[in-house]
Amino acid sequence: MSNPSPSPRHIPVMLRRCLDLLAPALALPGAVVVDATLGLGGHSEALLSTFPSCRLIAVDRDPAALKLAGERLAPFGERATLVHAVYDELPEVLEGLKVPRVQGVLFDLGVSSMQLDEAERGFAYAQDAPLDMRMDQSTGISAAEVLNTYPPGELVRILRAYGEEKFARKIVDAVVREREREPFTDSARLVDVIRQALPQAAKRTGGNPAKRTFQALRIEVNGELSVLERAIPAAVAALAVGGRIAVLSYHSLEDRLVKQVFAAGAAHSAPPGLPVVPEQYQPRLKLLTRGAELPGEDEIAENRRAAPARLRGAERIREDVR
The annotated binding site for S-adenosyl-L-methionine is made up of 41-43, 60, 87, 108, 115
3-state secondary structure of 220: helix
Helices and strands per DSSP (H, E), number in the chain: 14, 7
Distance, CA of 252 to CA of 14 (rounded, Å): 18
CA angle 87, 321, 316 (to 5 degrees): 45
Sign of the dihedral through C-alpha 42, 43, 48, 51:
positive
End-to-end CA distance of the chain: 51
Distances (CA, A) of 98 to 91, 102, 118, 239, 269: 10, 11, 36, 14, 31
Binding residues: 41-43, 60, 87, 108, 115
Sign of the dihedral through C-alpha 195, 199, 200, 202:
negative
